[in-house]
Amino acid sequence: MIKKSILIENKSAITSKNLQLVIKSEIRESIIPIEDIGFLVLDHQEIYISLPAMNLLVETNTSIIICGKNHLPNGMFLNLNSHHIQQEIFKNQIEASIPLKKQLWQQTIVEKITNQGILLQRITSKNNSFEFLASKVLSGDTSNMEGVAAQQYWKSFFEINFKRERFGDYPNNFLNYGYAILRAATARALSGSGLLNTLGIHHKSKYNAFALADDIMEPFRPLVDEKVFEIMQQYEEQELNTKIKSELLQVLTRTVYFKDEKSPLMVALQKTASSLQQCYTGKRKKIKYPKLWNLTPTE
C-alpha cells in the first residue's frame, strides 16, 4: 500500500485516538489512520503535536518532518528500532571495508550521472556526453566525475541564468524543498532496513546525522529536478506556496522501474535500502537502484 504524505500548514493541534491521528485546525477536524501515513510535514510555527501521537507515528515508521520559518524542512523524527536484528546490521555497516564503500560510491555516482544524462536529453531533445562521463567514474569517484557532470548539467538544464545554491533564490527554493523531502524518504527507508543513517559510504561529517541518506539519494535527485522543471513550465509562481509544495510531494509516489516490476518511489527506496544492507552482509555486490524512466520501445 502506498503511504500518504500529509502536509499541515495551518495552526493546528495534533493528537491520537484509537490508532488514528486527529488533526484539529481553526477550519476543520481531520481523522486519518496512523498506519496509512508515511510522511507528516509540519509547516507552521503554531502546530502542537502530542507525545503519544509522535510515538505512534514513529512506531509505524512514519517520518515526521518539521519546517522552519523559511518553510524548508530542517529536521525530522525517525524510528530508531525499526529492525529486529538492528545491532547485527549496525556491526556489519560499521565494519564495512573501504574498498567496498568506494565500490558502492562508484556505482552510486554512475547511476546519478546516467540519470542526469537521460533527463537532460528528455527535456532538451539533444544528445549529451553523460554516458561517456559515467563510464569514466573510478572507484570512490576519485577523479570527481560527479562534479564535472554537475557543471555541464546545470549549465544546460534551465533556460534562465541559473546557479545551483543551497540557499539560493528561485528555482533553488523549489529544488531545496524537493531534495529535503527526498532526503527524508531515503532516511526513512534506510532506518527501516536497520541501517545507521549517520554512517555514510562517502559523505562524512560529524555534524551530519543523515550522511547515508545523502549518499543513497544521489541517483534519485533527477526526479526532483524533473518535477521542478515541470512546475516551472506550468506555473508562474516563484514562491514556495501550498500548491508548489503539494506538487513536489508527489515525487514520492512517482513510478520507477526495476527489472521485473515497477513501483512508487516510496516503495523503491525500501528495496534500495534493503539491497544496501545485503551489500554490507556480503549477500550482494551492488545496490539495487531502479531505472527512473521506462525507456523500453513499448513506452
Q: What confidence score (pLDDT) does residue 71 get?
A: 87
How far apart, in whole angstroms, are the C-alpha atoms of residue 226 and residue 212? 23
Q: What is the mean pLDDT of each run of 10 residues along the chain (299 residues)?
A: 89 97 94 95 96 94 90 84 72 94 98 98 93 97 96 86 78 94 94 90 83 97 97 92 95 95 95 96 96 73
How far apart, in whole angstroms, are the C-alpha atoms of residue 126 and residue 145? 21
How far apart, in whole angstroms, are the C-alpha atoms of residue 115 and residue 55? 37
Q: Which residues of 169-189 are buried (b: 16+ CB within 10 A; e: fewer)?
A: eebbbbbbbbbbbbbbbbbbb
What is the sign of the dihedral through the CA atoms of 225, 228, 234 and 238? Answer: negative
Q: What confidence score (pLDDT) does residue 299 get?
A: 39
Please give the radius of gyration of the chain, using alpha carbons only, rounded to the nearest integer.
19
Task: Return the DSSP state at 223.
Answer: H
Confirm or deny that 59 is annotated as ligand binding. no
Pairing of strands 63-67, 73-77: antiparallel
Closest to 24 (Cα-Cα) out of 62, 50, 3, 56: 50
Q: What confidence score (pLDDT) does residue 83 get?
A: 55
- pTM reported for the whole predicted model: 0.89
Confirm or deny that 218 is annotated as ligand binding. yes
Closest to 280 (Cα-Cα) out of 85, 95, 110: 95
How far apart, in whole angstroms, are the C-alpha atoms of residue 35 and residue 264? 18
Domains and CATH numbers, the chain: 4-77 (3.100.10.20), 86-281 (1.20.120.920)
Confirm or deny that 236 is annotated as ligand binding. no
